[in-house]
Amino acid sequence: MNWFLLTQLLANGLIVGMLYGVVAMCFVLIYKSTQVVNFAQGEFLVLGAWVCLAMVVKAGLPFYIAFPFTLVFMTIFGILIQTVILRPLIGEPIISIIMVTIALSIIMQSILNWTFGNSSASFPQIFPVENVSLFGLQVETAYIMSLVLSVFVMALFYAFFQYSKYGLAMRATAYDQQAAQSLGVSVGQVFAMSWAISAVVSGIAGIIIGIVSGVSSSLAVIGIKVFPAVIVGGLDSIVGAIVGGVIIGLLENLAEFVDGQYLQWGNLYTIAPFYVLIIILVIKPYGLFGTRDIERI
């Protein structure tokens, strides 16, 4: 048994899993507060990555300026998508909304390919050192940044929902829209806010992955990986999304290890998460952290 490879892959899995967790969080945020299943989540990542890359490479801005500008762009983009495309759909059946987000995904994909090209591009070197050694493991600096940023974003999410008044308002809206309205919460504002937050955070995730493995339309695959993560964790639980993301990340790498060392089937890692998805749905249909209503006895 190759212990070194195993730990390396598990560390990898943890880092990638945290990133899945961040994207899954965005997905859950939108689902929870606006009841929209956003199939274009993956394209949000691609958009963020491309915009940032274009600013760095084409406009020649340094990364630390391009990064916040991208976030501003994503905020505006999220609000626009919500107000222009999804607001008129409030109250429509869920299937129409799903069709619209699938269409949004396809349209965004084409526009992105059209403007930024089909081939992949990579960020110029951002960190002075490419690798750092941590507990005897060689880790890419970008991976460390990815981990730090993921944890940072999660902590921010937690603080926002726990302590800020808008966070409370969003939770209340997710739980009972009309009750929240009766307390003076503007539901339209909450909806726009959740799309903006989701777009920004997806943008961050897109940039991180772009730095690690290059920017191309294949980044959108993360948007699909998010589904098993979200369903494992429970569709309406933010903590569940993170745990689900980490589980999927670890599983992928574990599958890679087993496959590479023993089975030699190839590509086991892409399907392993979906097997787990099925098993978890059989055992716990609400996901690991999905909420059921509180029943008073």
Partner 1 sequence: MLQVATEPKKAVAMENDTLLAVDNIEVVYNEYVLVLRGLSLEVQRGSITALLGANGAGKSTTLKAISGLLKSEDGKITRGDIKFDGQIISNQEPDTTVRSGISQVMEGRRIIQDMTVLENLKLGAFTRTDRANIADDIDLVYSYFPRLKERTGLAGYLSGGEQQMLAIGRAMMARPKLILMDEPSMGLSPLLVKEVFGIIKKLNRDFGVTILLVEQNAAMALSCASHGYIMENGKIVLDGTAAELRENEDIKEFYLGGSGERKSFKNIKSFKRRKRWL
Contact residues: partner 1, CB under 8 A: 165, 168-169, 171-172, 175-187, 291, 293-294, 296
Nearer to partner 1, 124 or 184 (CB): 184
Biggest CA-to-CA distance, the chain: 64
Spell out the alpha helix ranges (H) of the chain: 3-34, 41-57, 63-80, 94-116, 141-163, 165-175, 177-182, 187-213, 221-233, 238-258, 268-283
* Residues β-bridged to residue 121: 215
Query: Which CB sits closer to partner 1, 133 or 182?
Result: 182
Minimum CB–partner distance for residue 186 and partner 1 (Å): 4
What are the CA-CA distances from residue 134 to residues 8, 10, 137 (Å)? 11, 14, 5
- In the complex with partner 1, the residue whose CB is nearer, 171 or 258, is 171
Nearest-angstrom CA–CA distance, 127 and 185: 43
Please check whether residue 34 is in contact with residue 174, taking contact to mean a CB–CB distance below 8 angstroms. no
d(CA 143, CA 141): 5
CB of 85 to partner 1, least distance (A): 21
- Shortest reach from residue 184's CB to partner 1, in Å: 3
Element (H, E) at 1: none
Closest CB to partner 1 among residues 54, 171: 171
CB of 237 to partner 1, least distance (A): 11
* 186/218 with CB nearer partner 1: 186
Q: Name the residue nearer to partner 1 (CB basis): 63 or 175.
A: 175
Give min distance, CB of 92 to partner 1, in A: 13
Minimum distance from CB of 86 to partner 1 (Å)?
A: 17
Question: Helix 165-175 vs helix 141-163: angle between axes, to the nearest 10 degrees?
Answer: 80
If phi > 0 it is left, if psi is from -120 to 50 it is alpha, else beta; for residue 223 that is: alpha
